[in-house]
Structure 1
Amino acid sequence: MKSIQSVPRRFVNAVRRSFRQFLALPLATVLGFVGLNALVYLADRSWSGGQPPTGFAWLGELLGDSAALGSLLTTVASSIITVTSITFSLLLIAVQQGAAALTAQVTDQFMARRTNQFYFGYFVGLSVFVLMTLVTNTGFHRPVFGTTLALLLTTSALCLIIVMIYNTIDQMRPAQIIQFIHGRVLEARAADLDLLARTRRTSRHGWPVVASVCSWESGYVVGIDPTRIGRAVERYAKGAVEIEFDIAVGAYRAVHDPLFRVRCRPGVALEADARASIIDETSAALDYDDGRDLKHDAAYGLHQLATIAWTSVSTSKSNPSPGISVIQALRDVISQWSAGETEAREDASSCVVYRDAAPTVATDALEAVIVVASESIQPQTLAEAITTLAILLRHVGQPTAERLADVSHRALSSLGEHVLTRQLEAALADLSEALLARGFASVSGAVSASTADLAASLGKLNSRSTRVPGTVS
């Protein structure tokens, strides 16, 4: 059950997320049209009393009197609203089809694109502009400039429909979807690095746990404020307490799930009131929400990539192309993040202990693609994943290399499901060399041995379950 105190804050977080993900630009565009209408209304006051402004008498004669303007604006308003409704319906159907082909992640990336947000805002804002201009058309006030501008903007909107339809179709291509999410993952990493720079990675040795705090509500933890936590510790137990988090930003917590631990310096007796105040302030420094934000949560983007790869590679879709694109995107992400794992990016004086989870999530996503490739028996997808492991092992930092070596070893369990194609055999040989060069001799030997066992099945008629009988990797 969610605490009553958290409801207003959760609502505020939901509103902020909706504005970050979609609403900000469309609403700003609509407000821009409203402001433009106000300016044009002031300009149209020069037509009041039947006296046209100097040099524009021809425009008034061309558009006609108030009755003609009203008829024209009514036609334009009904037309633009009808076209907008039909176009948006078709676009949403296209998005729905794309989501059915991949996953619901398609909807997230469609809404997050600034061009799509502008399209929605432009058409809605134009409809509002035309309707407001129509309302101001009276026997005394002739909106000649407003009608002229409405005609020009409507013409632009009709031309923009062609561009919008092309962009939507182009955005539904799996490669474009994956590329967009890949870019957002790299951008969201900045929020992770900012939090890492204000916290520490390891707890102080010998400091006992004086309190283990569980979640008081359910939802995704979308933000941590280490500054607020630091002020609370400074006020109640300066230099004697540290907060060690069990979670990373983006993690889901159910009620009573572990959240963080309070550690106290040996020999210091922390009073009950001070401990309760620190726990309350630390809990208040966490932001809960019912959804995750791709813009500020790199792990969420990685989850989306893994979901797309799993859906497309598995027998649910049996489409290797998106899976290979995801593997390539993950290779770039892991490569760019590897150096940061070994850099000293922390505040040694911070009282908050927070561990970096995103790099591990990235390698776990790559591991998931390898597993699902065995379910659908896609040797080309597995070969691409194995090649990625070999390429990364030759240059990534040691923590990343250790995880990749472990992934390589675990991947051997599913190797017996495959046929040893030439592409797969070359990728496994390259991986064995990369592991050996990096110092993982035992894993390298296991890869070579498994490759030899699978090669022994070539030329023999075996079912999927008996291709490599008795092999234990």
Structure 2
Amino acid sequence: MKAITSIPVRVASAIRRSFRQFLTLPLATVIGFAGLSALIYLADTSWSGGAAPPGFRWLGDLMGDRAALGSLLATVASGIITVTSITFSLLLLAVQQGAAALTAQVTDQFMARKVNQFYFGYFVGLSVFVLTTLVTNTDFHRPVFAAALSLLLTALALCLIIVMIYNTIDQMRPEQIIQFIHDKVLMARRKDLDLLATTRRQRRPDWRDGALLRSRESGYVVGLDLSRIENAVERHAPGDAEIEVLVTLGTYRAVHDPVFQVRCRPGATLSEDVHQRLADEILAALAYDDGRDLNDSTAYGLHQLSTIAWTSVSTSKSNPNPGLTVIQALRDIIAQWSRGEVECRDDPGSHIVYDDAAPVIATDALEAVIVVASESIQSQTLTEAVATLAILLRHVERPTAERLADVAHRALSSLGEHVLTRQLEVALHDLAAALRERGFVAVATAVSEASAELATSLGKLNSRSTRVPGTTS
């Protein structure tokens, strides 16, 4: 159960998340239209008393008297509201269809795009502007400038509808969705690197484990106040304790799940009172939320890519194209992050140990695509994944290469589900060569043997369950 005291914090966090993800630009645009309406109102005061500003009499004659302005503005207001409601309904239907074809992640990336936020804000703001202008059309105020501007902005809105429809359809293409998430993952990684630069990766080997701190709330961990933890250690156990963070940002934690490990210097003993004060302040450094933000969490972006690949590649959709695109996106992400695993800055004097989980999650996502390809027997997806392993193995740093070699070894368990197509055979041979080049001779030998064993099934009539017969003793 969530702590009662956290409810106001959760509400505030949800509001902040909604503004970060969507509301800021639309509301700013609406406010901008409201400010423009106030400025135009002041400009229209020059028409009071039947007078016309110098050089603009023609505009007053064109727009007509108060009755004509009222009729024009009422028509524009009703028209723009009707067109906006119909257009948005159709766009949301297109988004819903895209989400049904892939996953709910489509909705997240649609809302996160600045151009979509601007469209929503523009049409709502224009409706507010026109309605405000209609209200100000009185016997003592003649909104000529505002009415003329309303016509121009409405004409622009009608042109924007065409652009908006095209953009929405284009954004529903799997390639566009995956590329957007890929870019967000790379951007979120910069925040990870800032956090890693102020913590340590390695625990002090001679220090012993002390108290295990468990979560007092449930939800996704979306924030970690490092300075608060550092200050708590300096205040209550200077030089005697280090804090190992057992959870990475974006991870879900239930009540009583472990989140921190307090570790003590040899010979140091922390009193019960010190343990309690440390626990209170350190646990308060975590921020929880009911949802995650794609802009701040690399783990969430990688989860979205993995989910899209799993859904499309599996027999649920049996669509290999999104899976192939995800594999390519993961290849780029892993390649860009590999050097950072050995060059990542840290602070040797920090009291906080924080693990860099993002590169591991990326390779795990690639492994998941290989697993699901066996369920749907998509040889083209498996071939692309195997080719990706071979390409990456030839240039990534050692920690990444070791994980990729392990992925290659584990992937052999599902190889018997497939037919050894010509492309798959070439990819497996290339993978074995890449493994040997990097020194993973045992795994390379296993890949070669598995490929040769699968080749024995060629030309024979077998079901997927008997394609590669088990060895008999």
TM-score range with shorter-chain normalisation? Answer: over 0.9
Alignment pair present for 1:437 and 2:437: yes
Alignment pair present for 1:45 and 2:45: yes
1:124-161 Cα offsets, whole Å, 9 max, x none, are 00000001111111000001000011100000000000
Alignment of 1:51-66 (within 5 A): 51-66=51-66
Unmatched 5+ stretches in structure 2: none
1: CA distance between counterparts of 2:447 and 2:471? 13
> 2:33 touches 2:126 (CA, 8 Å); kept in 1?
yes
Partner of 1:393: 393
| 1:267 to partner: Cα distance | 1.9
1: CA distance between counterparts of 2:471 and 2:324? 28
Partner of 2:202: 202
1:437-473 Cα offsets, whole Å, 9 max, x none, are 000000000000000000011001111100001069x
1: CA distance between counterparts of 2:229 and 2:133? 53
Partner of 1:268: 268
1: CA distance between counterparts of 2:437 and 2:376? 31
Q: Name the SS for the 1:465 alignment partner.
A: coil
Partner of 1:290: 290
Alignment of 1:30-109 (within 5 A): 30-109=30-109
Partner of 2:322: 322
2: CA distance between counterparts of 1:348 and 1:185? 27
| 1:89 to partner: Cα distance | 0.1
> 1:10 touches 1:287 (CA, 8 Å); kept in 2?
no
Alpha-carbon spacing, 1:457–1:347, altered in 2? closer, same or farther (3 Å): same
Partner of 1:160: 160
2: CA distance between counterparts of 1:199 and 1:8? 30
Give 1:97's aligned amino acid. Q
| 1:2 to partner: Cα distance | 1.2
> 2:245 touches 2:354 (CA, 8 Å); kept in 1?
yes
2: CA distance between counterparts of 1:21 and 1:239? 41
Once structures 1 and 2 are overlaid, which stretch shifts more, 47-56 or 204-213? Answer: 204-213
| 1:274 to partner: Cα distance | 2.3
Using the size of structure 2 for normalisation, the TM-score is 0.99
Alignment pair present for 1:349 and 2:349: yes
Partner of 1:370: 370
| 1:344 to partner: Cα distance | 4.2
Partner of 2:452: 452
Give 2:217's aligned amino acid. E
Give 1:285's aligned amino acid. A
Unmatched 5+ stretches in structure 1: none
> 2:374 touches 2:418 (CA, 8 Å); kept in 1?
yes
Once structures 1 and 2 are overlaid, which stretch shifts more, 8-17 or 114-123? Answer: 8-17
| 1:381 to partner: Cα distance | 0.5
Give 1:272's aligned amino acid. E
2: CA distance between counterparts of 1:414 and 1:121? 50
Give 1:32's aligned amino acid. G
Number of residue pairs matched by the alignment = 472
Q: Name the SS for the 1:261 alignment partner.
A: strand
Give 1:432's aligned amino acid. A
Partner of 2:21: 21
1: CA distance between counterparts of 2:408 and 2:210? 40
Using the size of structure 1 for normalisation, the TM-score is 0.99
Partner of 1:310: 310
Partner of 1:115: 115
- C-alpha RMSD over aligned residues: 1.0
Give 1:125's aligned amino acid. G
Partner of 1:416: 416
> 1:386 touches 1:428 (CA, 8 Å); kept in 2?
yes
1: CA distance between counterparts of 2:346 and 2:124? 47
1: CA distance between counterparts of 2:208 and 2:250? 27
Give 1:68's aligned amino acid. A
| 1:210 to partner: Cα distance | 2.3
1: CA distance between counterparts of 2:449 and 2:66? 88
Once structures 1 and 2 are overlaid, which stretch shifts more, 346-355 or 1-10? Answer: 1-10
> 1:207 touches 1:265 (CA, 8 Å); kept in 2?
yes
Give 2:213's aligned amino acid. V
